[in-house]
Amino acid sequence: MQRLTISIDDDLAADFEALIASRHYSNRSEAIRDLVRSELRRERVALRPDAPCVAALTFLYDHHDRTTTMRLLELQHDHHVLTMASTHVHLEHDKCLETVILRGPADAVSSLGNAILAEKGVKDGQLHLMA
Asked if residue 111 is part of any domain, the answer here is yes
Asked if residue 35 is part of any domain, the answer here is yes
**Is residue 58 domain-shared with residue 30, that is, in the same domain?**
no
Asked if residue 67 is part of any domain, the answer here is yes
Low-confidence ranges of the chain (pLDDT < 70): none
Sign of the alpha-carbon torsion through 67, 74, 115, 124? positive
**Is residue 72 domain-shared with residue 126, that is, in the same domain?**
yes
Say what the pLDDT of residue 10 is.
Answer: 95
Sign of the alpha-carbon torsion through 34, 18, 126, 110? negative
**Is residue 36 domain-shared with residue 87, that is, in the same domain?**
no
* Predicted structure pTM score: 0.79
Summarised one tens digit per residue, pLDDT across range 87-113 is: 999 999 989 999 999 999 999 999 999
Asked if residue 3 is part of any domain, the answer here is no
Residue 96: helix, strand or coil by DSSP?
strand
Say what the pLDDT of residue 122 is.
Answer: 96
**Is residue 121 domain-shared with residue 59, that is, in the same domain?**
yes
**Is residue 111 domain-shared with residue 80, that is, in the same domain?**
yes
Q: Has 53 been labeled as part of a binding site?
A: no
Sign of the alpha-carbon torsion through 16, 19, 25, 26? positive
**Is residue 78 domain-shared with residue 99, that is, in the same domain?**
yes
Say what the pLDDT of residue 63 is.
Answer: 85
C-alpha distances out from residue 81 to 8, 85, 91, Å: 46, 11, 28
For residue 119, the enclosing domain spans 52-130
**Is residue 59 domain-shared with residue 38, that is, in the same domain?**
no
DSSP state of 23: T
Say what the pLDDT of residue 43 is.
Answer: 87
Determine the length of the chain: 131
Q: Has 90 been labeled as part of a binding site?
A: yes
Say what the pLDDT of residue 73 is.
Answer: 93
**Is residue 41 domain-shared with residue 95, that is, in the same domain?**
no
Query: CA 106 to CA 54: how far, in whole Å?
Result: 8
Name the residue type at position 33.
R
Tally of domains within the chain: 2
The CATH number of whichever domain residue 70 belongs to comes to 3.30.70.1150
**Is residue 15 domain-shared with residue 73, that is, in the same domain?**
no
